[in-house]
Amino acid sequence: MSDKTDPQRMEKIVSLCKRRGFIFQSSEIYGGLNGCWDYGPLGVELKNNLKQYWWRVMVRERDDVVGMDGSILTHRAVLRASGHEDTFSDPMVDCRTCKARLRADQLPEKSGVKQCPNCGGKDLTEARPFDLMFSTQMGASADPESIAYLRPETAQSIFVQFKNVLDTSRKKLPFGIAQIGKAFRNEINPRNFTFRSREFEQMELEYFCRPEQGMELLEYWKEERVKFYENIGIPREKLHVLTVPDADRAFYSKGTYDIEYDFPFGMQELEGVAYRTDYDLKQHQEASGKPLDYFDEETKQRFIPHVVEPSAGVDRTVLALLCNAYDEETVTDEKGKSETRIVLRFHPRMAPIKVGVFPLLKNNEQLVAKAREIQATLRPHMNVFYDETGAIGRRYRRQDEAGTPFGITVDFETLGEKDATLLDTVTLRHRDSMKQERIKISELLTVLLPQVQ
């Protein structure tokens, strides 16, 4: 973890998220549900843009990857075979002074002595394993066999359905199965806003291959995934690729990278890229007694494929996008008065709203009609926000805070009143530079669409 933290910046981001409707605490009016978050109107758009872009580049634009969507409720046998039932736990300690429950591997140390981050106390219990899985009861009977789990990761349903997907998609190695969906972990200490939650979403790819291809594909996917983050607007210098040391890797993994981002609360993991060998398929084949192997028609050999897994967090990436986009700058208005402009500098591809459409005056029928017409033209292609209330400067500022990259203003020149050559042109305002240009309405879609896709 990096020492460079900026709690003040984080507070501002959390407050903007609530103020503008990105993220709210779950069940807030009842005091909140710890570790759970609700995404508001802007948050859900941002999250959907991220998921859709991941799906596009990881599945739709590739011949060698197919998708699936597994159930959240998971058969106990699946998580017994995967090893989760026995080993998916974090070490927990209690602070005897303030009664806080803490993760033993995340305790701060002072002069070599571990202490409670809450009260500074040093009287801590021994560490004991704390089960991270949420279990529930299926159906009416209460016997232990009716226990089901909320999945702690999306990966297991991919392994369990490997044969069905292979047989129906008729893919040849190497090929991947991708999934985006909810996962649940009863984290001992949810913290850092949405970074560590109890309910979250993952975007996972299981990329199956021949044993001899594993190490090379691990490098390939690490590079691809770093490029992905750059393509959603996270600069390379804020990303860090950590080679997970042997001692910290799962015993079956032959190599793991963590892709980390420089959050205001330190350098933290966004995604893990792991070469998991044939561990998972082997475990499920053994436990279920059903073959999960692959028949190579060229060599006439049967074997269990190996797998490389890039596993990313939706919520953590959304948080990284927000942290990365947040900016404050001092600007001077026409009257020479200076003020602070808060702006979210999202990559247009990720921005929740792509364009704001503003008639200069709301009580001028012609301006309003033109603006509504533009809204209707752009709407099938992107998320458009129509706003007719308040001074135009205020409307721009509101969109700056929402991270909207473009603003279109319909004014009297649009109507051709001052200069006939300007008929059917509008002002296009750019969020980052605040520069304005005159553009024909008929050209708007061609100019905007490639930038926001």
Footprint of ligand ATP (CB under 6 A):
153, 185, 187, 196-197, 200, 202, 269-272, 311-313, 315-316
CB closer to ligand ATP out of 269 and 293: 269
The burial class, CB within 10 Å (0-12 / 13-18 / 19+), for 86 is exposed
CB closer to ligand ATP out of 153 and 400: 153
CB closer to ligand ATP out of 103 and 395: 103
CB closer to ligand ATP out of 271 and 413: 271
Chain centre distance of CA 98: 34
Measured CA to CA, the distance from residue 70 to residue 67 in angstroms comes to 10
- Tell me the Cα Rg of the chain: 26
CB closer to ligand ATP out of 65 and 320: 320
Chain centre distance of CA 193: 13
Helix extents (H) in 212-326? 214-231, 279-288, 314-325
- Beta carbon of residue 89, minimum distance to ligand ATP (angstroms, whole number): 11
Residue bearing tokens 């963590």? 258
- Beta carbon of residue 201, minimum distance to ligand ATP (angstroms, whole number): 8
Contacts 24+ apart (CB under 8 A), 29-35: 34/190, 34/198, 35/187, 35/190, 35/196, 35/197, 35/198, 35/199
Residue bearing tokens 């967090």? 313
Measured CA to CA, the distance from residue 208 to residue 66 in angstroms comes to 12
- Beta carbon of residue 78, minimum distance to ligand ATP (angstroms, whole number): 16
Contacts with 79 (C-beta within 8 Å, 6 or more apart), sequence order = 85, 88, 133, 149, 151, 152, 156
- Beta carbon of residue 66, minimum distance to ligand ATP (angstroms, whole number): 21
CB closer to ligand ATP out of 272 and 407: 272
- Beta carbon of residue 177, minimum distance to ligand ATP (angstroms, whole number): 16
- Beta carbon of residue 306, minimum distance to ligand ATP (angstroms, whole number): 18
Contacts with 384 (C-beta within 8 Å, 6 or more apart), sequence order = 353, 354, 355, 356, 357, 375, 378
- Beta carbon of residue 87, minimum distance to ligand ATP (angstroms, whole number): 12
DSSP symbol at 339: E
Q: Are 210 and 302 in contact (CB under 8 A)?
A: no
- Beta carbon of residue 315, minimum distance to ligand ATP (angstroms, whole number): 5
CB closer to ligand ATP out of 187 and 413: 187
- In the complex, residue closest to ligand ATP by CB: 313
Give the closest residue to 319 by CA, choosing from 394, 277, 264, 243: 264
Count of residues making up the chain: 453
CB closer to ligand ATP out of 205 and 426: 205
- Beta carbon of residue 153, minimum distance to ligand ATP (angstroms, whole number): 6
CB closer to ligand ATP out of 175 and 200: 200
